Structure 1
Amino acid sequence: MRALRRPIVAVAATSLLLIIQAVIDPTGLLALVGWPGGTPRFDLWWPVARYIVFVPVMLAVVWWAAVRAGDRFWTLTAGVVLAAQLAQFAACFAMTGDLALAAWAGGYVTAKAVPTALIVAGVVRVVERMVARRRGLDTAMRAYSTDGTKGATVWPAAITVGAVAPLLAGSWWTGATYAPGIPTPRPGTDALGIVGMLVAIALLIGAAWLGIRWMRRRVPGFLGTWLGALVAGGLLGLAQGVIGLVVDDGFRGDLWPLMATYIHVADGLAVGACTGWIAAIVALIADRVVAQRAARSAGLADSAAGDAANEQRDVSPARIAAGAGVGVAVVAVAAIAATLIAPAAPAVATADNEASVPVGFLRVEDGRFTDGEGHQVLLRGVNVNQLVDFYQARPEVPVTRELTEQDFADMATYGFNVVRLGMSWSALEPTQGELDPEYLATVKQAVAWGEQHGIRTVLDMHQDGWSNLPTAEGTVCRPGTDPMWGYDGAPEWATHWDGTPRCSFTGRDISPAGDRAFEHFWFDTDGIQTALARTWGELAGEFADEKAVAGFDLLNEPGFGETAPVTTSKKNGEYSAKAIAAIREAGAPQIVFVEPSILWSGLGFDSGPSRGFTDDLNVAFSPHLYAESITMDASLGLPTIVSTERQFELGQRVADELGMPMWSGEYGYWGDDASTTAHLERYAAEEDRRMLGSAYWVWKQACGDPQNGIQELGNGLLSELCATGEEAPRKEHLLSILSRAYPQQAPGALTSLRAGVAGDDRAEFTLTGVVDQPTCGLQVWVPGTAEPEFSEERGLSRVELEQVDGGWLVTGCADGEYALASE
């Protein structure tokens, strides 16, 4: 193929694919560059960055790759992958100015870049064959012959790849996918972490030597080394995936090892794409040195003999040993430097540094919730959506059921001690800058009712699909999307759709209009993000003295907008920090609950907000643990990606990285009784094993709730018959599990917990704990009518029983290690 034909074909094929993807996928979820429709916003930078930055960068690198690496299918494939990742990096950097985030974001296009690269390389190959066949030319591929394949030029580049990795770690190798024991080049803060870093560097150097040597035999010069570094990153990811099979419990009833391996490979490719140019510069210098030596040797022999002599010297044992010694020295220096500059471990709230939280308020302390008086508190209860401002599909079918004091009295009979109370921004602040006094009064009334019945409240700024506005009448939805109902969330004054269609793709949370509205929120268009943070300050000020308010949940399942992970990580952290600051300025000391994006509820994992987004210590990480329930694998009929049990571990890893305790703000199961019972029993067992709390979705759900759909039977633990509006039989098969025995409050720290239900209505449980000094703070909920009988009361005194509606409260005092077990 002539010099210009191949890059022209490659760029044309890439351009056509970008256009086709944008047309087919308006959300941009599966396309490299999405086009949501609507009115272009040239007055803002972020809506056009993907077009005026991403597209030119990708096409330019594709051209370069086609010229230098285009005579082979696999080398061109690697070149197009590199192009996509560099384009993603450039666009994200242009939007945020954050180098580390932008480099990490390059990995997010892997699943889209690889198919695109395979197609482009395939088109180029087909066109080449057609042209060659027409002209009767030999189509065999010819290998380049370059001095870059020799050890003296490959080793310096390979060592460089390994040495820069810990120094430029950025956001790579963090989050739910990286189990302890998986070696990563990220600087470690302890002996095990340093060993893991050294192992990862060694693996990366070996992979780089293989990748660069293989690639430079086929692609000369600078690009060959860069592509070799890209391959090395992918090989490291594969190695991490294999190791993860061993250290991360393998295929434990789910496909997590495959998903984790994909993330490892994506991170590795991003590392290679964003740092490979450094190794390429080193390789050029090494090439120049070798060439100069070869030129001097040419004076003693002809060039062929000189080349042979150089080759022999390059692979001699002495040179290999010398190269290895230099490599070890470079890696050692890089490891020491990386360790010295490693970020400090996240701060964890302790009794000393949380002394500012007034007495009687719940707080974060030593990675758990406490009352500030030496007692661990488990928050277990339900979600209440009866104050949410839902879209109403039919005026005669109510969207909520009235919230009354009786609801709280009933909740208490199941031992619940917390309610996650859903509120709607649209109802709270229908006019910008003014909180609606009537709606605020209903929230205050709910908090007061909860306090009367021993139930704390988490105030949840709820949203689903951004707002309660449905598809506008007359909207023509593009193929692959459908008209949708509204749900709940933001007021109209905070909703910017730019004319994009309010149509859903596989569900309410993937919509061009919803994604665009969230993108405006994340980038604070017209100050709407700042407005919500200010609203949180005003709302928190209203409850600053309310000890019954456990905390504030900043935003329910925030959408990913159009540019994850910029939105789901960095922007989520920025909003959270802004809202936390407003809450504290209002004098509210309660816990703040921060959520990851809707991707967690849809996939079973996500990145969460950026590490270090806040220095506030009274903050908790609150993912929604819906694995094997409403995650996309379940809804699409795919094998389980994350199991019910594994989801706890993934959430805890992110919480630990953030230096926060974990609390699941939502989870739930729907379907036949046998299936939901089995799932909830597994969830409950794992929750007890980890001594965690949560809030089940949902207490009551009306027939007109858009999440329920208008059907014969309303959903929720307390359902209603839609035809009559009467109460349906309660879901006792679920309530009996949710109301199992647990310590609402435990002296010191719990060390183990197990609960179940035995025959004759007598609850079975075992708990152990340890306390530094004697205290009488034990309070255990035990369901049922039969008086509990204990088989063990170690380290406890003054154990007393009080019968209450629905069960019993067990109180007592503890000293040192203690245990309580029922018969």
Structure 2
Amino acid sequence: MLLRAALATVLLAGALSGAPAHAAPADVPARAELGSRAATAGTRWITDERGRVLVLQGLNMVYKIAPYAPDEVGFGRDDAQFLARNGFTTVRLGLIWKAVEPEPGQYDDAYLARIRRTARILADAGIWTLLDFHQDMYHERFQGEGAPDWAVQDDGLPAQPQLGFSSNYFGMPALMRAFDHFWANDPGPGGVGLQDRYAAAWAHVADFFRGAPRILGVDLFNEPWPGSTWQQCANPAGCPVFDAQLEAFTQRVIDAIRAVDPRTPIFYEPHVLFNNGSRTHVTPEGAGLGFSFHDYCLTAEAGGEGSGQAACDAFDDLVFDNADAHAADTHDAPLLTEFGATTDRTTLTAMVDRAAAHRVGWQYWAYCGCDDPTTTGPGATQALVLDPSRPPRGDNVDRAKLRAIAVPHPQVVAGVPTAYSFDRDTHVFAASWSTRRAGGGGFGAGSRTVLSMPRLVYGDTYRVAVSGGRVVSEPGARTLVVAQRRGADRVRVVVRPG
């Protein structure tokens, strides 16, 4: 989530064949077209089991209050279908370490079964789940959530001053010491290192979910906070000393997961100040890795609509440039797993359009407010759906926010995306892709690419022009399906209002 705007000054200082018009009702996307197994195979792209590139757009669903399960607040089948109808194909689904391992070495499989049921509901709707071990400010003692009680080592310091999220990161010594002990892998109960317990818990979760459909991957640790050395990271060059600790932790967890699951993609995160323009030096080893990063405009809540947009653009461009550079160096697939937490539509549209320009998938924060104890502003500020226990329609949906983030885009590409963009004034969408495979070789005639055409944008009618392929989906389908023509090395699609 968003960190204090006090960091802004520090960080900024550094740095065609025609197709007929499509009309008629449309259904939820054809799930058979969307794949069921994900991979990252030494390229910057996430792919399905056919080698097609997944361009993921979706939301976060994390419930941060006991019992820490999204179904507790009513998130279920109607929510999954709502997301699919609007073109979203991914959810970052939160697990809380405290619920996974309430006592050292003892795992709550009943809790994991609740999370797995939710993931299955999402899979049935054609939605990919990224399992996220979520934390903010480490533990409830520090006005946050995440770690079990037995994993808190704060040297007996008082949990003061209580300034709330995210100010406690900067002003509460006890919280900083808890992170220091964790990054040092200091021994906890039974003399076992805190990170060793954490890695074993992840291995148990990975084994529990192995074989579940449409698991996009696992996200190892939400927004790692450097602890008492955070000032060293608050600059554009980053902090190699802390990153060495973070890399060792990341590698420890990767190795534990790979011992039980050799296939599921593993997404690791940089220290949290990467969100605001600081570089990362974390480069773990292993197959099937992804890079989970966040981007929050530091001035998004400073004023009204579009307030401080020039400053936002400078920060956000820097974050994306850093993510691109990291992906180029490591070949680990980038995914923007958090942005948003605002009602400022200019900020949201700029971020969605920026991600498209960089050809990076994303997950908006957040699906609901859900009494979130660690966010900026009231829950309605971040929520797309105000109350998951009610049907996601009418005044229970923030329609302005939905229009900002539900845009036409490729969902599954039989090839490698070269460009895609949506003009919000004219409602013209254009996408192009090479027919080569991300991992080498190429796609042949008839290979299918799926593109989202939200009804919010086009209603019941749109016109399509295609070169290098032909439309094979039904008229008016919310998912436009294009089959590659024989001999094509490039396909281009342009969609206009009907």
Q: Report the TM-score when normalising by structure 1.
A: 0.49
Q: Do residues 779 (structure 1) and 450 (structure 2) align?
A: yes
What corresponds to 1:360 in structure 2? 37
Taking a change above 3 Å as real, the CA distance of residues 411 and 359 of structure 1, as seen in their structure-2 partners, is: closer
CA RMSD of aligned residues (A): 3.4
Determine the C-alpha separation between the residues in 2 that align with 1:633 and 1:535.
42
Letter in 1 for 2:293: P
The residue identity in structure 2 corresponding to 1:389 is I
CA contact (8 A) 1:756 1:765 kept: yes
Q: 1:391, CA displacement in angstroms?
A: 10
Render the CA deviation track for 1:667-717: whole Å, top value 9, x for unaligned: 00424xxxx111112112211111110100000112x32135896957411
What's the CA shift for 1:594? 0.7
TM-score with structure 2 setting the length: 0.79
* Alignment match, 2:47: 370
The Cα shift of 1:732 comes to 1.3
Deviation at 1:645, TM superposition (A): 3.2
Q: 1:733 to 1:638 in 2, by over 3 A?
A: closer
Find the counterpart in structure 2 of residue 512 from structure 1.
173
The answer to whether the 8 Å contact 2:240/2:281 transfers is: no
| Distance in 2 between residues matched to 1:711 and 1:628, nearest whole Å | 17
- The residue type paired with residue 133 of structure 2 is M
DSSP-derived class of the 2:87 partner: coil
Cross-structure match for 1:93: none
1:735 aligns with 2:409: no
Aligned-partner SS, 1:557:
coil
Higher helix share: 1
> What do residues 730-789 of structure 1 show as CA deviations (whole Å, max 9, x unaligned)?
221121121101110111101111114467xxx531001111331523011101132321
The residue that corresponds to 1:684 in the other structure is 352
The CA distance in 2 between the partners of 1:424 and 1:712, in whole Å, is 19
Please list the CA deviations of residues 197-248 of structure 1 after superposition, one character each: whole Å capped at 9, or x if unmatched: xxxxxxxxxxxxxxxxxxxxxxxxxxxxxxxxxxxxxxxxxxxxxxxxxxxx
Unmatched segments (≥5 aa) in structure 2: 1-5, 16-34, 188-192, 231-238, 436-441
Aligned match of 2:311: 640
Alpha carbons of 1:454 and 1:638: their partners in 2 closer, same or farther (altered >3 Å)? closer
Where 1:438 maps in the other structure, the secondary structure is helix
Conserved 8 A contact 1:802-1:808: no
What is the distance in 2 between the residues matched to 1:439 and 1:588?
A: 24
Structure 1 residues 771-823: Cα deviation after superposition (integer angstroms, max 9, x where no partner): 13315230111011323211x2100035323656xx34434235311101012
Q: Does 1:605 align with 2:278?
A: yes
Name the CA distance, whole Å, in 2 between partners of 1:359 and 1:707.
Answer: 33
2:236 match? none
SS in 1 for 2:430: strand
Q: Which residues of 2 match residues 668-747 of structure 1 at below 5 A?
A: 668-671=340-343, 676-702=344-370, 704-707=371-374, 715-720=382-387, 728-747=395-414
Q: How do 1:487-498 and structure 2 match up within 5 A? A: 487-498=144-155
Aligned equivalents of 2:387 and 2:51: distance in 1? 42
Match 2:119 to one of 424, 438, 447: 447
**Aligned residues between the structures:** 435
1:580 aligns with 2:290: no
Show the 5 A alignment for 1:145-160: none
For 2:241 and 2:175, the matched residues in 1 are separated by 14
Q: 1:542 to 1:713 in 2, by over 3 A?
A: closer
* Letter of the structure 2 residue corresponding to residue 690 of structure 1: H
Which amino acid in structure 1 is aligned with residue 154 of structure 2? W
> Counterpart of 2:37 in structure 1: which amino acid?
G
Q: Give me the whole-angstrom Cα distance separating, in 2, the residues matched to 1:381 and 1:777.
A: 22
Residue 258 of structure 1: which of 2, 8, 13 is its match? Answer: 13
Instruction: Give deviations 1:623-651, integer Å, cap 9, x for gaps.
Output: 101134569999xx999384333321122
Question: What residue number does 2:228 align with?
Answer: 562
Contact between 1:802 and 1:810, CA under 8 Å: does it hold in 2? no
Shift of 1:584: 1.0
State how far apart, in whole Å, the 2-side matches of 1:721 and 1:577 are: 36
Letter in 2 for 1:509: Y
Which residue of 207, 214, 220 corresponds with 1:548?
A: 214
Are the counterparts in 2 of residues 593 and 619 from structure 1 also a CA contact under 8 Å? yes
Change (3 A) 1:559 1:567: farther
CA distance in 2, matches of 1:770, 1:638: 34
CA spacing shift, 1:604–1:669, aligned 2, 3 Å: farther
Please say if 1:749 is aligned against 2:425.
Answer: no
- 2:466 is matched with which residue: 793, 802, 811? 793
Distance 1:621 1:360, change over 3 A: closer
Whether 1:770 and 2:440 are equivalent positions in the alignment is no
Q: Is the 8 A contact 2:340 2:382 kept in 1?
A: no
Q: Which amino acid aligns with 1:742?
A: H
Distance in 2 between the 1:705 and 1:528 partners?
26
Whether 1:523 and 2:184 are equivalent positions in the alignment is yes
Answer whether contact 2:297 2:315 (CA < 8 A) is retained: yes
- Listed as ranges, the matches of 1:155-304 within 5 Å are 258-260=13-15
Identify the residue that residue 414 of structure 1 maps to in structure 2. 86
Q: Which has the greater radius of gyration?
A: 1
Counterpart of 2:428, as a letter, is E
Assess, with a 3 A threshold, how the Cα gap between structure 1 residues 700 and 496 changes in structure 2: closer, same or farther.
Answer: same
- C-alpha deviation, 1:583, in angstroms: 1.0
Matching residue of 2:291: 621
Cα distance in 2 between the residues matched to 1:756 and 1:809: 18
Normalized per residue, the structure richer in strand is 2
Q: Kindly indicate whether the alpha-carbon contact (under 8 Å) linking 2:369 and 2:379 is maintained by their aligned counterparts in 1.
A: no
User: Secondary structure of the equivalent of 2:229?
Assistant: coil
Q: For residues 406 and 274 of structure 2, what CA distance do their matches in structure 1 show?
A: 26
1:769 partner letter: W
> Does the Cα contact within 8 Å between 1:622 and 1:662 map onto a contact in 2?
yes
Distance 2:335 2:145 in 1: 23
Q: 1:656 to 1:629 in 2, by over 3 A?
A: farther
After TM superposition, give the deviation of residue 567 of structure 1 in Å: 6.3
Whichever residue aligns with residue 416 of structure 2, its letter is: A
> Who is 1:658 aligned against?
330
Q: What percent of counterpart residues are identical?
A: 23
Equivalent residue number for residue 15 of structure 1: none
Trace 1:122-137 onto structure 2 (pairs within 5 A): none
**Off by >6 Å, runs of 4+ in structure 1:** 253-257, 630-634
In 2: Cα distance, 1:372 partner to 1:362 partner: 7
Matches of 1:782 and 1:710 in 2, distance apart? 32
- Equivalence for 2:491: 818
TM superposition shift of 1:606: 3.3
CA–CA distance in structure 2, aligned partners of residues 710 and 681 of structure 1: 20
Give the 3-state SS of the residue equivalent to 2:178 in structure 1. Answer: helix
Equivalent position of 1:571 in the other structure: 245
* Residues 40 and 332, structure 2, Cα contact 8 Å, conserved in 1: no
Tell me if the contact between 1:545 and 1:588 (Cα under 8 Å) persists in the aligned partners.
Answer: no
Question: Offset of 1:254 from its aligned partner?
Answer: 9.7
CA distance in 2, matches of 1:256, 1:630: 16
